[in-house]
Amino acid sequence: MVLKGNRYKKEKKTVKNTFSNAWNGIWYTFNNEINLKIHMLAAILVLIGAYILELNYYEIIICMLLIGLVISFELINTLVEMIIDLVSPKYNELAGMIKDVAAGAVLVISITALIIGIAIFLPKILIYIGLWY
């Protein structure tokens, strides 16, 4: 995918185009950022686990919300990195710190999702394997 700065000035704004543009951004990030692939794999495993362990409606809603947040934060982190690379192509200590802060935000939401996931899944797993009643 080639990024074009003038795309929006020439493109007719339709619902189809806006969804297409959003999908292009997700696909670009998926193809270029290993962490998004890891998050997507984790999301698939969570959804499979939710099905196997028969999570209730509210537990599934919480899992879906967390999946959306983690993936969104990863997309925003990629956005921040791209903007920094665009405005500061040479090494700059502040630019590096901005990237680190954005990555830190992804780490915080990922750890939060992991902790909540453990709180939801651990009791269900223990019951499923017969170690807790």
Strands of 12-92 (E only): list them. Answer: none
Instruction: Check if 11 is active-site.
Output: no
Of 54, 74, 81, 93, which one is the catalytic site residue?
74
Provide the residue ranges of all domains of the chain, joining segments of one domain with +. 35-128
Q: What is the pLDDT of residue 4?
A: 55
- Each residue's pLDDT, cut to its tens digit, for the chain (133 residues) gives 555 555 555 678 899 999 999 999 999 999 999 999 999 999 999 999 999 999 999 999 999 999 999 999 999 999 999 999 999 999 999 999 999 999 999 999 999 999 999 999 999 999 999 998 8
Q: What is the total residue count of the chain?
A: 133
- Residue 82 amino acid letter: M
Q: How far apart are the C-alpha atoms of 77 and 50, rounded to whole Å?
A: 27
Architecture of domain 35-128: Orthogonal Bundle (1.10)
Distance of alpha carbon 42 from the chain centroid = 10
What angle (nearest 5°) sits at the alpha carbon of residue 57, between those of residues 51 and 61?
90
